[in-house]
Structure 1
Amino acid sequence: MSTEDPGSTIYFTLSIDGQSLGSFNGCEGLASSVEVEQRHEGGNNDFVWQLPTRVVFSNIRLTRPLTPDTTRVAAWISEVATGVTRPTAQISALRADGSLVARWGLVDVLPVSWTGPTLDPGNPSVATEVLEIAHHGFTDAGAA
């Protein structure tokens, strides 16, 4: 039995075609689902066939406090205006000491939205940013 705490102080890194976009403290949307079509077979009333039709991948939202790495995100998003390329990406989940917990490779990544901080002197909360990316599926993320 492992003595490591698998959930303590996890942070995430994002790289696009090997170029780091920095660390994030939140990551949601690492998910996929299989759409199913139901078919009723004539004369067979015991069950309904469940046939897979396609795999759907949800968008991934990465959040973090505002950092100098924001300029790298802005540059990547600006590249979309000059033509869409769909690079590969890698999201790594790391412990506080930098050791790897898990890694996900993503195919055909596209930035779909970025939300910057709300700068309000009346509300002294941490300035955060949110990056949302779309992708066409998971791939082998390489050795841990």
Structure 2
Amino acid sequence: MTDDIFATSVFFTLAIGGNDLGAFHTCTGLGAEVQIEQFAEGGNNGFAWQLPGRITWTNITLTRPVTADTTKVARWLDQVIQRVEPKDGEIVALKPDLSPIVSWQVLGIVPVRWQGPSFDPTSSQAAVETLEIAHEGLRPT
């Protein structure tokens, strides 16, 4: 078994428009869906044509415990609030030794939601932040 097939712990880095937003512990929503339109041709009763339509991209959600990188997200959001402009970015999956596993170019990123940490002194849970982004497409790099 080779060591590059399975990674037991993966980290994800996110950069948007040249801004390094740091490392995240989880990344969900890397996906696309092709809308299919069925077309039944007259005289052909054996099947219906499956015609591909628009591609929709799912929102990507990244989470991590609060770190010094939390201020990077806050600064980026402050810039976006001034002027919302879609920017390209990159998500890189890293092994625990920080060597890259795979990376994706993310096109036309805009923020959807940022959820800051909840601080509860009675809980032993880490304070976590969540960033959700919408985009116009993914490309492997």
Which category describes the TM-score, using the shorter chain as reference length?
over 0.9
Matched with 1:85 is 85
Change (3 A) 1:2 1:124: closer
Long gaps (5+) in structure 1: none
After TM superposition, give the deviation of residue 107 of structure 1 in Å. 0.5
Secondary structure class of the residue paired with 1:103: strand
Structure with the higher strand share, 1 or 2: 2
Secondary structure of the residue that 2:75 maps to in structure 1? helix
Deviation at 1:5, TM superposition (A): 5.2
1:19 is aligned to: 19
Q: Does the Cα contact within 8 Å between 2:19 and 2:76 map onto a contact in 1? A: no
Tell me, what secondary structure is at the counterpart of 1:55?
strand
- In 1, the alpha carbon distance for the partners of 2:125 and 2:8 equals 23
Structure 2 unaligned spans of 5+: none
CA RMSD of aligned residues (A): 1.3
SS of aligned partner of 1:119: coil
Q: Aligned runs of 1:89-104 on 2, under 5 Å?
A: 89-104=89-104
| Structure-1 residue corresponding to 2:44 | 44
Q: Percent identity, please.
A: 44
**For 1:2-24, what per-residue CA distance to the aligned partner results, in whole angstroms no more than 9, with x for missing partners?**
24452211110001123210000
Q: Distance in 2 between matches of 1:31 and 1:3?
A: 25
With structure 2 as the length reference, what TM-score do the two structures score? 0.94
Per the normalisation by structure 1, the TM-score is 0.92
CA contact (8 A) 2:4 2:101 kept: no
